[in-house]
């Protein structure tokens, strides 16, 4: 049977406010346990919440960026359940009237296809604390520093059809929240977390299958693996005559499998009701206008501009627009060298692999955009070849100066003097007389294969500095002659 996968994602983005959503505690990551847990965060009797204006503004930014309806009034509700990392015994969240309503986001797949993913809603809520399970004489330790950190929970429509699409969507949300400056996107620290609702159905069937929710998958790679694993599990289960049960599952990256997290006998009944300690939040149109006016150019707009202004492919434009910092870097390189395609190739190629290898962010790049742009200029004016450029790039990365300085110091300037190349080629042909004989005795097809050998020898003899175009032309003449 042919199966179709249906995926909906719930992404929790920690908003990068200074203070918590309902208290004046700091939100800094990694502080000593419970040193950022105030009376309100601890759920001390008698304490009350007051809403952080910045959290509201950030949620509105997000809403505007995904073209969502932002209702004039949103309401906080209590979600009641007992857990040690939830100090009040309820999570203050939003239920019936979330701050951000229906919107959408366009994602680009690797083949360049653009898909529109619906976003059902996004609502504000408070994060919980953390339970630490290392052994305190058979006890768990509770750290409430994270309790009360503002979260924006972004709920997608079940529009996603594959693990790859899911990753592309999460990357697009990741890029967006970073562009907007509302979340640092640090998945390792849990600033952006993802719950995946996965189900399968026979191709062509309209009704959804029963879904399982995979909780807290915290890297792009794991999202793809966890979903693929879950799809496989569900298909095998159904094909073996079993049934998928609606449950929460946990992805174990070590074993690359998902397993059931809670026994389902405990049906949750969260008893949502409007929080009586908080009043309805009213969003004025004038406020939204002000927020809209301050929105930066967003990833999708930037991608479109990169395509139209620079003639980049959709894929290249998507990769470059994925982060604001990368896009800014690319544009700086482009403005120095005036060649968007070369700039894109170098940024996505050599530069990216250099950063990846050293685990660096673009802001930490040892090669500045000015340096890279300057080097590309030297490629364009034939001062150096692409191959030499790689050496120059490495030298720049090692901190040896600008491209011009390195070319000068190392004598890497390309040889374009026809006379010099001519005599160098004569020497090369003389040293390889046997091969020349062979070449001349061969047919067209064989010659084409052998030609590369002579080019290689010539470039080697010139230490890569001879202009490859000139080498080609002259060599051809000499061999044919």
Partner 1 sequence: MALERSDVEKIAHLARLGLNEADIPRTTETLNNILGLIDAMQAVDTDGIDPMAHPLDATQRLRADSVTEENRRDAYQAIAPAVENGLYLVPKVIE
Partner 2 sequence: MHQLTLAEIARGLAAKEFSAEELTRGLLARIHQLDPQLNSFITVTDEPAIEQAKAADARRAAGEQGALLGAPIAHKDLFCTEGVLTSCASKILSGFKAPYDATVVARLKAAGAVSLGKLNMDEFAMGSSNESSHYGAVKNPWALDRVPGGSSGGSAAAVAARLVPAATGTDTGGSIRQPAAFTNLTGIKPTYGRVSRWGMIAYASSLDQGGPLARTAEDCALMLGAIAGFDPKDSTSVDQPVDDYLASLNQPLAGLRIGLPKEYFGAGLDSRIADAVMAVVEELKKLGATVKEISLPNMQHAIPAYYVIAPAEASSNLSRFDGVRFGYRCENPQNLEDLYKRSRAEGFGAEVKRRIMVGTYALSAGYYDAYYLKAQKIRRLIKNDFVSAFGEVDVILGPTTPNPAWKLGEKSNDPVAQYLEDIYTITANLAGLPGLSMPAGFIDGLPVGVQLLAPYFQESRLLNVAHQYQQATDWHKRAPAGF
**Contacts for 455-463: CB closer than 8 Å, 24+ residues apart:** 457/428, 457/431, 457/432, 458/424, 458/425, 458/428, 459/387, 461/424, 461/427, 461/428, 462/415, 462/421, 462/424
Of partner 1, partner 2, none, which one sits near residue 261, judging by CB under 5 to 8 A according to partner kind? Answer: partner 1
The closest of 424, 436, 410, 409 to 471, measured between CA atoms, is 424
Asked if 208 interacts with partner 2 (CB under 8 A), we say no
Nearest-approach distance from CB 295 to partner 1, in angstroms: 19
Tell me whether residue 176 is exposed, middle or buried, using C-beta atoms within 10 angstroms of its C-beta: 0 to 12, 13 to 18, 19 or more. buried
Nearest-approach distance from CB 147 to partner 2, in angstroms: 11
* Alpha-carbon distances of 130 from 84, 139, 142, 179, 230, rounded to whole Å: 9, 14, 6, 28, 26
By CB under 8 A, the residues from 257 to 286 that bind partner 1 are 261, 269, 271, 274, 276, 278-282
Rounded-to-10 torsion of CA 12, 119, 297, 28: -10
Asked if 89 interacts with partner 2 (CB under 8 A), we say yes
- Name the residue nearer to partner 2 (CB basis): 79 or 229: 79
For residues 233 and 243, what is the distance between their CA atoms, to the nearest angstrom? Answer: 11
Stretch of residues binding partner 2 (CB under 8 A), selected from 65-73, 77-85, 207-215, 341-349: 77-85
Token pair, residue 77, equals 């509700």
Stretch of residues binding partner 1 (CB under 8 A), selected from 140-148, 343-351, 358-366, 415-423: 140-148
Nearest-approach distance from CB 376 to partner 2, in angstroms: 57
Give kind and range of the element (H or E) at residue 258. strand 257-260
For residues 221 and 479, what is the distance between their CA atoms, to the nearest angstrom? Answer: 53
Tell me whether residue 239 is exposed, middle or buried, using C-beta atoms within 10 angstroms of its C-beta: 0 to 12, 13 to 18, 19 or more. exposed
Q: How many residues bind partner 2 (CB under 8 A)?
A: 28
Nearest-approach distance from CB 42 to partner 1, in angstroms: 6
By CB under 8 A, the residues from 38 to 57 that bind partner 2 are 39, 42-51
Cβ–Cβ under 8 Å, residues 384 and 346: no
16-18-20 Cα angle (round to 5)? 90
Asked if 278 interacts with partner 2 (CB under 8 A), we say yes
Helix (H, G, I), strand (E, B) or coil at 118: strand
Of partner 2, partner 1, none, which one sits near residue 354, judging by CB under 5 to 8 A according to partner kind? Answer: none
Out of 6, 250, 436, 455, name the contact with partner 1 by CB under 8 A.
Answer: 250
Nearest-approach distance from CB 243 to partner 1, in angstroms: 25
Out of 30, 46, 138, 452, name the contact with partner 1 by CB under 8 A.
Answer: 138
- Name the residue nearer to partner 1 (CB basis): 26 or 415: 26
Asked if 80 interacts with partner 2 (CB under 8 A), we say yes
Asked if 222 interacts with partner 2 (CB under 8 A), we say no
* Alpha-carbon distances of 329 from 239, 301, 349, 386, rounded to whole Å: 50, 17, 14, 21
Asked if 348 interacts with partner 1 (CB under 8 A), we say no
Nearest-approach distance from CB 29 to partner 2, in angstroms: 22
Out of 51, 71, 235, 237, name the contact with partner 1 by CB under 8 A.
Answer: 51
**196 - beta bridge partners?**
9, 214
* Alpha-carbon distances of 444 from 76, 289, 450, 466, 470, rounded to whole Å: 79, 70, 10, 26, 21
Asked if 32 interacts with partner 1 (CB under 8 A), we say yes
- Name the residue nearer to partner 1 (CB basis): 51 or 332: 51
For residues 200 and 158, what is the distance between their CA atoms, to the nearest angstrom? Answer: 11
For residues 303 and 114, what is the distance between their CA atoms, to the nearest angstrom? Answer: 11
Asked if 282 interacts with partner 2 (CB under 8 A), we say no
- Name the residue nearer to partner 2 (CB basis): 18 or 268: 268
Of partner 1, partner 2, none, which one sits near residue 46, judging by CB under 5 to 8 A according to partner kind? Answer: partner 2
Q: Which residues bind partner 1 (CB under 8 A)?
A: 17-19, 23-26, 32-39, 42, 44, 50-56, 73, 82, 84, 131-133, 136, 138-144, 250, 261, 269, 271, 274, 276, 278-282
Q: Which residues bind partner 2 (CB under 8 A)?
A: 39, 42-51, 78, 80, 82, 84, 87-90, 142, 269, 271-273, 276-279
């Amino acid at each position: 049977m042919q199966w179709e996968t249906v995926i909906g994602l719930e992404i929790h983005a920690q908003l990068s406010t200074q203070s918590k959503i309902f208290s004046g505690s700091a939100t800094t990551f990694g502080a000593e346990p419970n040193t950022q847990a105030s009376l309100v965060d601890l759920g001390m009797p008698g304490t009350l919440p007051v809403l952080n204006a910045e959290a509201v503004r950030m949620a509105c930014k997000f809403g505007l960026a995904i073209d969502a309806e932002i209702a004039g009034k949103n309401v906080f509700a209590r979600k009641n359940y007992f857990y040690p990392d939830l100090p009040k015994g309820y999570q203050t969240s939003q239920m019936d009237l979330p701050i951000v309503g229906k919107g959408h986001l366009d994602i680009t797949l690797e083949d360049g296809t653009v898909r529109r993913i619906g976003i059902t809603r996004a609502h504000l809520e408070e994060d919980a604390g953390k339970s630490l399970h290392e052994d305190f004489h058979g006890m768990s330790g509770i750290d409430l520093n994270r309790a009360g950190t503002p979260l924006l929970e972004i709920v997608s429509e079940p529009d996603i059809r594959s693990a790859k699409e899911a990753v592309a969507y999460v990357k697009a949300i990741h890029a967006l929240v970073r562009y907007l400056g509302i979340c640092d996107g640090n998945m390792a620290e849990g600033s952006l977390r993802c719950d995946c609702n996965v189900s399968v159905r026979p191709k062509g069937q309209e009704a959804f299958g029963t879904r399982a929710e995979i909780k807290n998958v915290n890297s792009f790679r794991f999202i793809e693996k966890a979903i693929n694993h879950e799809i496989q599990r569900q298909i095998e289960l159904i094909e073996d005559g079993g049934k998928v049960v609606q449950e929460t599952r946990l992805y174990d990256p070590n074993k690359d499998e998902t397993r059931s997290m809670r026994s389902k006998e405990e049906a949750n009944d969260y008893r949502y009701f409007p929080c009586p300690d908080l009043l309805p939040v009213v969003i004025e149109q004038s406020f939204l206008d002000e927020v809209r006016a301050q929105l930066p150019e967003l990833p999708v707009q930037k991608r479109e501009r990169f395509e139209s202004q620079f003639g980049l492919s959709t894929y290249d434009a998507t990769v470059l627009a994925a982060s604001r910092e990368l896009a800014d870097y690319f544009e700086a390189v482009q403005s120095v060298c005036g060649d968007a395609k070369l700039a894109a190739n170098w940024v996505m190629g050599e530069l990216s692999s250099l950063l990846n290898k050293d685990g660096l962010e673009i802001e930490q790049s040892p090669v500045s955009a000015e340096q890279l742009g300057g080097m590309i200029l030297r490629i364009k004016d034939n001062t150096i070849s692409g191959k030499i450029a790689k050496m120059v790039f490495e030298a720049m990365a090692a901190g040896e100066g600008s491209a011009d300085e390195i070319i000068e110091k190392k004598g890497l300037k390309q040889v374009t003097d026809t006379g010099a190349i001519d005599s160098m080629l004569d020497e090369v042909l003389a040293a390889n007389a046997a091969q020349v004989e062979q070449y001349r005795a061969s047919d067209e097809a064989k010659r084409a294969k052998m030609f590369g050998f002579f080019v290689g020898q010539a470039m080697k003899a010139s230490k890569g500095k001879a202009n490859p175009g000139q080498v080609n032309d002259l060599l051809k003449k000499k061999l044919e002659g």
